[in-house]
Chains A and B, each alone.
Chain A
Amino acid sequence: GAVVSQHPSRVICKSGTSVKIECRSLDFQATTMFWYRQFPKQSLMLMATSNEGSKATYEQGVEKDKFLINHASLTLSTLTVTSAHPEDSSFYICSARNTGGKTEAFFGQGTRLTVV
């Protein structure tokens, strides 16, 4: 199956700093990528839909100025957590949908963000 690479897998940052997470589709083109957040022992919550060449679509309650999403190419989307706070600590997962295929989504390995 298709491969989605997410980097970094773990990151620790200080409060007030910004952190960038990358999501790459390695062997296919993805016009649409998705960013999820997962709290411990909980399900995945969709944060936003990232569209190549256009603005991301954010889910209700997600602060677009805090979670900046850029999808500059067909193989790369980035999520930047700006001015991070301890409550932003979470597991962030991206997924990518193959442009030419059906609606199957492939997931990255996830990024564990800890804000201290």
Chain B
Amino acid sequence: AQSVTQPDIHITVSEGASLELRCNYSYGATPYLFWYVQSPGQGLQLLLKYFSGDTLVQGIKGFEAEFKRSQSSFNLRKPSVHWSDAAEYFCAVVGSGNTGKLIFGQGTTLQVKP
């Protein structure tokens, strides 16, 4: 069965520092992978996605992620974090059967120190 693991429940970084949020997936075929961000009490906003092609994908708000098949990972990165980036981040993979059903990781809470 497909699954997504975000090993870090909570991360704190200083404003201006670089950020990497980890995501590991379990999926037999080529996965469709996503990173979403959620502010408190809000829905989810898509940061970026990977379907195929270039394994380094660029997203909105200065985020990027790299798909590494050998490591079954899709880590999210940002070179310089802004205070407004504080939020909950979810990695997700589309389940089998092309139903569009998303399987989410547990989420990582990002706190940004001034």
Contact = CB atoms under 8 A, between A and B. Distances in A.
Contact of A34 (B32, B51, B98, B102): B102
Interface stretch (A13-21, A69-77, A108-116): A108-116
Given A104-B46, A107-B36, A112-B41, A46 B102 contact: yes
A104 B106 contact: no
Interface string A15-53: 000000000000000001010000001111010010000
A1 B46 contact: yes
Contacts, number: 56
Contact of B100 (A42, A44, A97): A97
B34 to A, nearest CB: 7
Given A43-B107, A102-B51, A104-B46, A34 B41 contact: no
A103 B106 contact: no
B99 interface: yes
Contacts of A32: 99-100
A29 B42 CA distance: 23
Interface string B28-67: 0000101010000111111001010000000000000000
A106 interface: yes
A95 interface: yes
Interface residues of B, number: 24
15 contacts: A32-B99, A32-B100, A34-B100, A34-B101, A34-B102, A43-B107, A44-B104, A97-B100, A102-B32, A103-B94, A103-B100, A105-B102, A107-B43, A109-B43, A110-B43
Smallest CB-CB A-B distances: 3 pairs: A97-B100, A107-B44, A107-B43
Interface of B: 32, 34, 36, 41-46, 49, 51, 90, 94, 98-107, 109
Interface of A: 1, 4, 6, 32, 34, 41-44, 46, 49, 91, 93, 95, 97, 102-110, 112
